[in-house]
Amino acid sequence: SQETRGSVQASPDNLGFATAPNLRGLGVDATLSLVNGHRLAQANYGGFVDISQIPLLAIERVEVIVDGASAIYGSDAVGGVVNFILRQNFEGFEAKAQAGFGDGFERYSLSTAAGATWTGGHGFLAVEYFEQARLSADERSYYTADLRRFGGPNLQNPNASPGNISAGGVTYAIPRGQNGVGLAPGRLVVGAPNVTERWAGADILPQTRKLSAAGLISQELTPGLTLTLDGLATRRKSIRRAEAAVSTLTVPRINPFFVNPDPAAQTTSVLYSFLGDFGPQATGGISEDVTLHGAVEVKLPARWSAELDGLISRNSVSFRNDDLPNAALLNQALADPNPSAAFNPFGDAGSN
C-alpha cells in the first residue's frame, strides 16, 4: 500500500555519502534506525543513521514498524522504525563475495563472518570490505540538462564557459575562440547565449572504499546473570566530482579586460562557469563510525528480568571541497588594474 512504501536513499546534507531508509516517503530523518533495539550516532549533518556501516553477514533479521512510532521513540520515528538484529547463536564460518559491472562502472564487496558457542555463552564477528568505482555522468546519455530529445526543456546553464554578459536586460554571448584581450563590444552575440552542460565531468556515484566490522559476545557469569557486549566500527573514504562552480561575476571598469555594450557602464555582470578553469569540483572525505554497547541482564522470580544498558556511539567526518574559486581572491583579481594579475572572464577558459 502507499502507506508502507519506502526507499533507501542519501540525504541533501550527506557529506559522508551515507545511506538511510526512508519509510512512507517522509524523509530519512523521519525514519529511526536501530541496532539490536538501541540507537546509533547520526551521520554527519543529516539527522539519520548510516545503515551501510552494518556488514550484511552480521544481520540476522530486520524488524520494520511502518506506522509512526513517535509517541515511543520521538520525532525521528514519525515515518517508522527499522531495527537491525545482529546474529548471535551462529557457529562456523561464512564468506560472501559480490562483483558488479556496467558501462564505465564496477563494484566489489567481500564479507566474512565467524561465530562460536560455548558453555554459557556465544560470540560472533563479521567483517566487510566494499569498493565502488566512480560512475561519470558522461557515461550515461540521459544525465544531461538538455532534455529536448526526451520531450523536455533545455535546462543548460547560462553561467557558461565562455560566459555571457548581462546588461540592460539583454544577454550577450562572449564569442568563442579568443582570449578576451581587446574584445570589442561589437563582437558580442545577441540572441544565442552560451550554455554549459551542468553534468559535464561530474559523477553520478562517488568512488568509495569502506571497511566495516560488527561483533557480539555474551556470557552467563553466574546462573541468572548475563553480560553482553556488542559493537560496530566503520571507516569509509569517498570522493565525488561534482558540478563545476558557477558565479555571476561583477567586473569593475578598472579591470583591464572590461567589456560592456553600454559605454557609460561602470561594472559588467558576467554569467560564468569555472568548468574550463578548474574542471568539476572534487568533494569527499573520510567518515568513521564507532559504537560500543554493553548490557547486564538479571533473571528475577516469576519470569521477570532486569537489564542495565550502556551505549557509546560516535560519528566523525572530515570533508573537503576542491577545485572552486576563493571568493575574496577572485574579487581582488577582478578589481586589479594590472593585466598580468587581473582575472579575465571575457575569453575562453584557460586565458588566466
For the stretch 268-281, pLDDT in tens is 999 999 998 999 99
Q: Is the pLDDT of residue 288 over 90?
A: yes
Q: Give the C-alpha separation, 80 to 64, whole Å.
A: 7
How, if at all, do strands 31-35 and 80-86 pair? parallel
Q: Which three cell numbers stand for residue 169?
A: 536586460
C-alpha triplet 229, 86, 89: angle, nearest 5°: 80
Q: Is the pLDDT of residue 193 over 80?
A: yes
How, if at all, do strands 105-118 and 92-102 pair? antiparallel
pLDDT tens, position by position, 20-55: 888 888 888 888 899 998 999 887 666 788 898 999
Percent residues over pLDDT 90 in the chain:
64
